[in-house]
Structure 1
């Protein structure tokens, strides 16, 4: 299961982030990766997210290839159970599906960060008719799933900090979209929840 999780996470990153970014660039000429080195709030969010993702990758790698080291990451014993592990795997697969569909809905509008250079087109179809942030929702579900599969202090920190960073990014993006789209985005906010409820 540990090597499967490693393989799944690699496929997850390639299929849901690297490939869509490449396809968007080839179709539009726009680099969808919009974090820069400028000292802005959104760029600090991007840096934080890179660190969180790196910790997740290292933890998953250790779990797969050096499991003896995992014991030093302060396991949360009350959550160690095959049933909880299976729930975790169910969640990460559900998240993959949610993000995959949402990215297809976004098509050429796929961005990582805030695009201040190109015209913004609001996507309201598909998953975006259910949640204003289905991709971020999927990422949060991945963090929860990872914590359930490998319940320890590191994955707990990844979950908590990941959720906090996503909350900040969502609000920064909402402010940007309100400034860019005005009443169109206000109406969308009134009709569709930020998450699900």
Structure 2
């Protein structure tokens, strides 16, 4: 809920500052419509699973949850991982400023963001979202939470490829230089400095 709330607030802020709707799933290409449906199913499923796991701690026993999953170290690891995920998403959304979008808008992309977390990952928002789903899987390791993680990974891979094509078309050589310097998920390549586009 926290990540969804932060994202909704960010959508409203971007619209207020740019006049453009930052929620752009399904508008750029038909495949984004598929991605949007997977995203909705994933988010709703994650919320339902997280709520059940939080409110009814032993429900996973019916599904064969391993004993190690309810140990204090695993619970702490899951909680810390989720907190890190929320921080990554919040910081990355803030650093994108008015360039932040959900999907690829018809009116085009904003400025290419290469500073802050984006100097270490081309997709820090997605990294944070995937970490949150991994935290859910650790907290409640069931077939259902594994399916939610798999759906989230599928969506992420689809959307990243769509966005990479759009960024290449919009920013050309500047984006190609960025790709050469920063990994899709994390890590700088060649230790070089990122040129702001």
Q: TM-score range by the shorter chain?
A: 0.7 to 0.9
Q: Which residue of 2 aligns with 1:3?
A: none
Kept after mapping to 2: 8 A contact 1:109/1:121 = yes
1:134-179 deviations in Å (ceiling 9; x for gaps): 0000011101111101111111111122112201210111011112
Kept after mapping to 2: 8 A contact 1:24/1:30 = yes
Deviation of residue 27 (structure 1)? 1.3
Q: 5+ unaligned residues in a row in structure 1: which ranges? A: 1-9
Give the counterpart of 2:165 among 159, 175, 181.
175
Deviation of residue 90 (structure 1)? 0.6
Q: 5+ unaligned residues in a row in structure 2: which ranges? A: 188-197
- Pairing 1:68-79 to 2, within 5 Å after superposition: 69-79=59-69
Give the counterpart of 2:14 among 18, 24, 28.
24
Looking at secondary structure, tell me which structure has more helix per residue: 1
Cα distance between partner residues in 2 of 1:34 and 1:49:
13
TM (norm. structure 1) is 0.87
SS state of the match for residue 182, structure 1? helix
Cα distance between partner residues in 2 of 1:49 and 1:77:
31
Q: Which residue of 2 aligns with 1:118?
A: 108
Q: Where does structure 1 differ by over 6 angstroms across 4 or more consecutive aligned residues?
A: none
Cα distance between partner residues in 1 of 2:170 and 2:29:
21
Kept after mapping to 1: 8 A contact 2:35/2:158 = yes
Task: Give the total of aligned pairs.
Answer: 187
Q: Which residue of 2 aligns with 1:34?
A: 24
Q: Which residue of 2 aligns with 1:12?
A: 3
Kept after mapping to 1: 8 A contact 2:123/2:185 = yes
Kept after mapping to 2: 8 A contact 1:130/1:193 = yes
What is the root-mean-square deviation in Å for CA atoms of aligned residues?
1.9
Q: Which residue of 2 aligns with 1:144?
A: 134
Cα distance between partner residues in 1 of 2:74 and 2:56:
22
TM (norm. structure 2) is 0.87
Kept after mapping to 2: 8 A contact 1:76/1:153 = no
Give the counterpart of 1:43 among 28, 33, 50.
33
SS state of the match for residue 97, structure 1? helix
